[in-house]
């Protein structure tokens, strides 16, 4: 009895013992590869069909290779004859169905990450658009109350909601503030899909600073 025959006899009609370990490793790797997934998605643009995998195949390959040293009975999945060998074995011991099940789960999670990214990208675009309400005379909506337009003078920025930031000697125009807000929102969106919030915090010289933060990813940065 050769190695393939022994493998068929060992697992025929049973759930492969590596299933949960492999599934969990794949799920964790996909979550930890979110930045790589979104970078690849942005690079592909409209060229990538939504039904196609972006990095799921890579995740499964990487984790299968990592699992092999722990279970020497696992055949090579991606070697010169690995795919044909694996599929030959799995047709008889139901392991092909296990891989297909894991692949479907990972595809669903990959699509969820992309859908959430698209929703937050739309939010970002709408938010940035809402900051500017005109071209001749620029109006910036207060990032804290989202109701009033900010008032600008040569020495401060204020809002009826209570926002007050000393900008003396800093030459902060509406256009400059708009670029700062856009830059911080975009920076946060590179690594997190949740919506950030803005706040005013006193700094060491008793002047207030406009901050952007996110509880989901612990992002914190000074806007102004």
pLDDT digits (tens, 9 = 90+) for 5-32: 555 554 455 667 778 888 899 999 998 8
**Residue predicted with more confidence, 169 or 151:** 151
- What is the rounded average pLDDT for all residues in the chain? 76
pLDDT of amino acid 6 = 53
- 65 pLDDT band, cuts 50/70/90, is confident
Q: CB of 58 within 8 A of CB of 26?
A: no
pLDDT of amino acid 140 = 84
**Residue predicted with more confidence, 161 or 67:** 161
pLDDT of amino acid 81 = 47
Among 65, 42, 72, smallest CA distance to 54 is for: 42
In the block, tokens 């937050």 appear at 120
Mean pLDDT to the nearest integer, 83-89: 49
Q: CB of 153 within 8 A of CB of 143?
A: no
Among 220, 171, 161, 172, smallest CA distance to 196 is for: 220
Structural tokens at position 110:
């990959």
**157 phi and psi, to 5 degrees?**
-120, 135
pLDDT of amino acid 84 = 46
pLDDT of amino acid 49 = 59
pLDDT of amino acid 125 = 74
**Residue predicted with more confidence, 52 or 118:** 118
| Alpha-carbon radius of gyration of the chain | 26
Structural tokens at position 97:
């169905």
Question: Does the structure show a pLDDT above 80 at 89?
Answer: no
90 burial (CB, 10 Å; 0-12 / 13-18 / 19+) is buried
CA angle 36, 186, 138 (to 5 degrees): 160
- 52 pLDDT band, cuts 50/70/90, is low
pLDDT of amino acid 97 = 80
Mean pLDDT to the nearest integer, 162-191: 85
pLDDT of amino acid 136 = 44
- 83 pLDDT band, cuts 50/70/90, is very low
H-type helices in 33-93, by residue range? 34-44, 56-67, 82-93
**Residue predicted with more confidence, 208 or 48:** 208
Share of the chain above pLDDT 90, in %: 7
Mean pLDDT to the nearest integer, 137-156: 84
Question: Does the structure show a pLDDT above 60 at 171?
Answer: yes
């Amino acid at each position: 009895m050769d190695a393939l025959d022994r493998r068929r006899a060992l697992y025929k009609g049973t759930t492969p013992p590596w299933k949960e370990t492999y599934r969990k490793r794949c799920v964790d790797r996909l979550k930890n590869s979110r930045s790589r997934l979104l970078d690849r998605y942005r690079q592909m643009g409209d060229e990538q069909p939504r039904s196609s995998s972006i990095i799921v195949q890579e995740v499964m390959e990487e984790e299968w290779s990592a699992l092999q040293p722990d279970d020497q009975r696992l055949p090579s999945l991606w070697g010169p004859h690995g795919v044909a060998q694996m599929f030959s074995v799995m047709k008889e011991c139901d392991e092909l169905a296990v891989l297909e099940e894991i692949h479907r789960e990972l595809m669903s999670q990959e699509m969820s990450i992309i859908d959430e990214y698209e929703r937050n990208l739309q939010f970002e675009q709408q938010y940035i658009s809402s900051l500017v309400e005109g071209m001749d005379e620029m109006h910036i909506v207060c990032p804290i109350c989202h109701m009033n337009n900010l008032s600008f003078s040569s020495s401060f920025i204020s809002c009826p909601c209570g926002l007050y930031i000393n900008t003396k000697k800093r030459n902060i125009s509406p256009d400059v503030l708009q670029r700062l807000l856009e830059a911080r929102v975009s920076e946060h969106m590179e690594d997190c899909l949740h919506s950030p919030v803005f706040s005013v915090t006193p700094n060491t010289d008793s002047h207030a600073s406009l901050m952007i933060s996110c509880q989901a990813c612990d992002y914190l940065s000074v806007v102004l």
